[in-house]
Amino acid sequence: MSAEIRPFTLAVSDDELTYLAKRLDQARLPEAEPVADWTQGTKLDVLKELLAYWRLDYDWRRCERRLNEIGQFVTEIDKLDIHFLHRRSPREDALPLIITHGWPGSVVEFLGVIDELADPTGPDAQAFHVVAPSLPGYGFSGKPTETGWGVERIGKAWATLMQRLGYDRWVAQGGDWGSAVTTMIGAQAPAGCVGIHVNMPIGRPGPDDLATPGPDEVKALKALQFYQDWDSGYSKQQSTRPQTIGYGLVDSPVALAAWILEKMFAWTDNDGSPFDALSMDAILDNIMLYWLPATGASAARLYWESFAKFGEGEVALPTGVSAYPKEIIPAPRKWAERRYSNIVHWNDMHEGGHFAAWEQPDLFVSELRACFARMV
């Protein structure tokens, strides 16, 4: 295995962008849904608005420049290329941080926080060396050609990455799959990791919680039931037959956009439109990191690998939690403490949803600083 860290520069060909435009021009859409809301899935009028912007006004080169500006790299770990953003802080006291995205996200989720994390506007604010890897099968990381790339293996790979970068004392953060990976890192407690932070705490109710739930637990149980009944179809498909859905996600930009846009609506803290929480540019930047490298199937396979084991492991390392009100599967502190035995920071936020860094970048940065100040 090569331990070389290779610079990675994005330079998408004009031919690829022309092909995308052609596919958007030739799209065949279904009729409108016979309901007035999102209960049958992505609304036709909202999708049409996004597709029109994608075709006529969206500028991929802007995102490409931004990713290259931050600094992109690739290194081979366990026979698989891992792509990552790496922004070293100019501050000597900076704390190394590895931050992990989830599905249907990407490293694009962190574009609004990397600069402030690495080079704070306040001279006394904690600075970080930021490492943001693309999960295996996501973005520009390699696509596994064998089974076994679940969260346990990813957690070990992330520890290898931090060691390879020369960081002997570091912290980890994540939400969604990033929360599962970060929780696994906490359970594995690799050399050098001094603590973790998650914005989707992983916890489950016990028998007593179901018998006599408190107000927070009632709210969490209702959210969990809604997720199971109405919001988990994507996960059932991707955890059982990822290859089948993958054909449509890799071949059709419209299918990919509709599949992802539904979650941009359902999982963000918005006032009735996904564009209340995230701009069209931000949403399309993220979709492009699935479309260009054709990762619809490879990304979905992580569900097949690990969904049944999501969040396994007990964590004794110092842990911080920021619980956002529109989180899809909330876990009250009582539930979370069964998995994280050393919670040193917990904050119930007043706004924000599943994509914390993306939706609320200022709050997210403040939470990380408050959390990790208790660990260093």
78 phi-psi bin (left φ>0, alpha ψ -120 to 50, beta other) = left
DSSP string, 15-28: HHHHHHHHHHHT--
Q: 294: buried, middle or exposed (CB in 10 Å: 19+, 13-18, 0-12)? A: middle
State the CB neighbour count (10 A cutoff) for residue 271.
7
Peptide bond into 104 cis (omega under 30): yes
Catalytic one among 303, 324, 340, 345? 303
Q: 3-class DSSP state for residue 131?
A: strand
Residue numbers of the chain with a pLDDT score lower than 70: 1
pTM score, two decimals?
0.97
271 a catalytic residue: no
Q: Which of 115, 153, 320 is nearest to 161 (CA)?
A: 153
| Unique residue bearing structure tokens 């900076």 | 94
176 a catalytic residue: yes
**Beta strands in 22-127, from DSSP E residues, in sequence order:** 72-77, 80-87, 95-100
DSSP string, 308-330: GGTT-S-B-S-EEEEE-TB-SS-
State the CB neighbour count (10 A cutoff) for residue 362.
10
Q: 174: buried, middle or exposed (CB in 10 Å: 19+, 13-18, 0-12)? A: buried
Catalytic one among 58, 83, 176, 269? 176
Contact (CB, 8 A) for 184 and 310: no
Contact (CB, 8 A) for 350 and 231: no
CA distance 89 to 94: 6
Six-digit token pair at 328?
A: 């899809």
CA distance 6 to 75: 6
Half-sphere exposure of 284 (CA within 13 A, CB side): 23
Q: 3-class DSSP state for residue 99?
A: strand
| Unique residue bearing structure tokens 């600075």 | 127
CA distance 301 to 241: 8
Catalytic one among 83, 86, 197, 354? 354
Q: 215: buried, middle or exposed (CB in 10 Å: 19+, 13-18, 0-12)? A: exposed
User: Running DSSP on this structure, what letter comes out for residue 83?
Assistant: E
Six-digit token pair at 313?
A: 């492991």
Contacts of 347 by beta carbon, 8 Å cutoff, 6+ apart: 321, 322, 323, 367, 370
Contact (CB, 8 A) for 113 and 70: no
83 a catalytic residue: no
Distances (CA, A) of 222 to 210, 281, 311: 12, 33, 20
Beta-strand pair 80-87/128-133: antiparallel
Distances (CA, A) of 321 to 98, 343, 356: 16, 8, 12
Domains of the chain: 5-372 (3.40.50.1820)
CA 132 from centre of chain = 10
Mutual orientation of helices 253-266 and 233-240 as an angle, nearest 10°?
130
Q: Which of 253, 242, 177, 219 is nearest to 18 (CA)?
A: 253
